[in-house]
Amino acid sequence: MSKKKSLKKTLVEQILDKANIPYTALALNALEGDLPDGITRDRIFKTLALIGDKTGPVIGILPITRHLSEKKLAKVSGNKKVHMIPQKDLQKTTGYIHGANNPVGIRQRHNFPIYIDNSALELGDMIVSSGEVGRSIDVHSQTLADFVEAHFADLSE
């Protein structure tokens, strides 16, 4: 008999379990385009870390199929300008490497303002990284926003 190999829960999944927030754990790597059946790219969201000229770090979350409008994020976050955190400084700033940034883990460590693209509200459920490359969670967008104290805004170009 072979045992089904279960993946160890990520810290993000453990945090959500403790908070009684429902989610579905997924093993997928959107960076490589390896998607399970039934999952479309428009449901997968990237978590981007930027620096604002007034607020410091700010987090923008939008579908991987769209481009971030830095002007829109700057405006909603109270900055004149925002720019991406250089990849070499990403882990030092957020605690995560490129491809593993996620709103739950970032909120647990930092009080950075978080903004989620309005398209997540329209979808209902969204997929975000669960803190490790190749691991994600499918979670209700409003539930996630409430938990990480995020605001919805138009962030796409």
* Res 32: pLDDT: 66
Residue in 4, 12, 26, 14 with CA at minimum distance from that of residue 135: 26
| Domains in the chain, CATH or no CATH each | 23-153 (3.90.960.10)
Beta bridge partners of 126: 139
The most distant pair of C-alpha atoms in the chain lies apart, rounded to whole Å, by 61
Q: Which helix (H) or strand (E) holds 152?
A: strand 151-153
The answer to whether 136 and 127 have CB atoms below 8 angstroms apart is yes
For residue range 109-148, list pLDDT tens digits in order: 999 999 999 999 999 999 999 999 889 999 999 999 999 9
Say if residues 93 and 58 touch (Cβ distance below 8 Å). Answer: no
- CB half-sphere exposure, 52, CA atoms < 13 A: 23
The structure's pTM equals 0.91
Residues of the chain with pLDDT under 50: 1-4
Predicted pLDDT at 3: 46
